[in-house]
Amino acid sequence: MSSRKGSSSGQDSVLASNVRAEADAVELTELGPLLEVKRAAANSSIADGQTCSAPQEEEEEEEEVRVLTLPLQAHHAMEKMEEFVYKMWEGRWRVIPYDVLPDWLKDNDYLLHGHRPPMPSFRACFRSIFRIHTETGNIWTHLLGFVLFLFLGVLTLLRPNMYFMAPLQEKVVFGMFFLGAVLCLSFSWLFHTVYCHSEKVSRTFSKLDYSGIALLIMGSFVPWLYYSFYCSPQPRLIYLSIVCVLGITAIVVSQWDRFSTPKHRPTRAGVFLGLGLSGIVPTMHFTIAEGFVKATTVGQMGWFFLMGSMYITGAGLYAARIPERFFPGKFDIWFQSHQIFHVLVVAAAFVHFYGVSNLQEFRYGLEGGCTDDTLL
C-alpha cells in the first residue's frame, strides 16, 4: 500500500510541474507581441539617437552632468562639514598657521604657527587645554594663578578673628582683593580657552576678561588704602570713591566691541595702565604725610613700587608685542608677550598681597593705635 501511495504522489508532482511549464509557455506567447513592440521601440530610439547631431548630444550630456554634479557637490560639502564638526567635537584637530585663520581669530600677526582652528564645541575647546598651541601658556599661567589665589583667599578669610583688630572689616577688605584676583584670573583662562569657539563667544568672553582686569586693580586698591590711611578716614573714602569710578568707567569702555580688536591693543593697555597709575596720587599723599622713611619701611612702599613696575612692564610688553615682534615665528608657543604679561600679573598680585599682609601685621601690632615712633 505504501509503495502505491508513493508512486501516485510522484506522478502528481510530475503532472503539476508539467502544468506550470505549459502555463509559463502560454504567458510567454501572450506577451510575445508586447515584447516585440518594446524591442522595436528601443531599437527605434537607438536609431533616432544615432541620427541626432553631435553638438546636441554634447549639450544634453553637459546639462545632465551639471544637474548631477551640483547636488553631489553640495552633498560632499555637507559630509565634509559634518566630518569637520565631528573631529572638533572629539578633539582630533591640528594646529594651523596664522594666514588661514578667520579674521575674528587673528590677534597677533607675529605668531605665525601653532594656532587652534575654529572649534564650534565647548567640549573640544576645554580639551584643548591639554594640547600644545599658541594659547597653552596663556591658559595655564592664569589657571594656576586662579588656584593659587583661591587657596590663599580661603586661608586668609578662615584665619581666627584674634589676629585682626576689626575682624569683619578687615576680612571684607581682604575679601575684595581676593574676589578681584579670582575673577580676573578665572575670566582670563576661560577666555583663552573658549575664544576659538565662535566670534560671538570670543567677543563675550573678551569683555569678561577686560572687566576682570579692572576688578583686580580696584580690589588691589581696597586693602592698601584701608591700611595706609588707617587713621585718615576722609582721604581714604575719597580715594576709594575715585578708584571705583575709574574702575567702573574702564569696565564700561571695555564693553565696546571695537575695544577687543587688534587695532586697539595700545588703547586697552593705556586704559588699564591709567587705572593703575591713578594710585600715584594717594602714594604721594601718604609719603608726604608720613615721611619717606616711614613710607618705605612701615608703609611697605618698596613692595608696592615693585608691584607697579611689574604691571607696567607687563602692559608695555603686551602693547608692543615684545619679543615676538623682533623674532616672528620664534615665540609662537612659549615666551610670547601675552604669556610674560600673564606671569607678571600673577607675580605682581602676589607681591601686593605680601605687602598688604605686612601692613595688616603692623596695624595689629599697634593694637589699633595710629602712631608708634619706636618702629621708625
Q: Is 338 annotated as a binding residue?
A: yes
Return the amino acid letter for 37. V
Q: Give the 3-state secondary structure of residue 291.
A: coil
Cell reading at 75? 552633498
Cell reading at 328? 616672528
CA angle 137, 143, 148 (to 5 degrees): 125
| CA–CA gap between residue 18 and residue 20 (Å, rounded) | 5
Contacts 24+ apart (CB under 8 A), 340-344: 340/314, 341/314, 341/315, 341/317, 342/137, 342/138, 342/141, 342/142, 342/145, 342/188, 342/314, 343/141, 343/314, 344/310, 344/311, 344/313, 344/314
| CA–CA gap between residue 244 and residue 178 (Å, rounded) | 16
DSSP 8-state secondary structure symbol assigned to residue 330: T
Q: Is 133 annotated as a binding residue?
A: no
Q: Is 342 annotated as a binding residue?
A: yes
For residue 25, give the H/E element and its range. Answer: helix 2-51
Please, is 326 exposed, middle or buried when counting C-beta atoms within 10 Å of its C-beta (0-12, 13-18, 19+)? Answer: exposed
- Per the CB < 8 A criterion, the answer to whether 187 and 212 are in contact is yes
Return the amino acid letter for 78. M
| CA–CA gap between residue 225 and residue 212 (Å, rounded) | 20
* Residue position matching grid coordinates 577687543: 260
Q: How far apart are the first and last CA of the chain?
A: 136
Residues in the annotated binding site:
192, 338, 342
Annotated binding-site positions for Zn(2+): 192, 338, 342
